[in-house]
Amino acid sequence: MRAVVQRVLSASVTVNSEVVAQIERGLLVLVGIEASDTDAQVVWLADKCANLRIFEDPQGKMNLSVKDVAGSILLVPNFTVAGDARKGRRPSFDNAMRPEQSEPMFQRLTAATRSQGVPVQTGVFRADMKVALVNDGPITIWLDSGGGQA
């Protein structure tokens, strides 16, 4: 499982000109689920996102998590995060999990993240989404659970 995590002042998802999800201070997480991923990666990513210390403490050091700052998480399913662009000019998505399996896994990720005590909003699976954000920092972290080996 891969994720691009962005610390944001605000973020939203719009589908068909309607805002379907939005958060203020927190994390925007673009999630790519790979064919080899298991529920172990779901638990790993939920824990990592909820507890990743990328918010500043009173001394200006990144020592606080989204939980510590009472922030929210916006999870956005994004199969292209599982893409491989190392060869050629067109990315391969062969490693991405099929939608029939990845949608329930994304739902489990949403539940696992909520169980961490963080408010969670989500994008819409398989929709043409417009994602808007105000990146704070900018702070952007790439996470990789290890492709089935969390």
Return the CATH number at 50: 3.50.80.10
Contact 39, 27 (CB under 8 A): no
Residue 48 within any structural domain of the chain:
yes
Tokens at 126, concatenated: 């398989």
Residue 149 within any structural domain of the chain:
no
Domain count, the chain: 1
Residue 12 within any structural domain of the chain:
yes
Name beta bridge partners: 92.
84
Residue 150 within any structural domain of the chain:
no
What pTM did the predictor assign?
A: 0.94
Residue 55, pLDDT > 60, answer yes
Residue 149, pLDDT > 50, answer no
Residue 51 within any structural domain of the chain:
yes
Average pLDDT, the chain: 95
Residue 97 within any structural domain of the chain:
yes
Residue 4, pLDDT > 60, answer yes
Give the whole-number percent of the chain exceeding pLDDT 90. Answer: 96
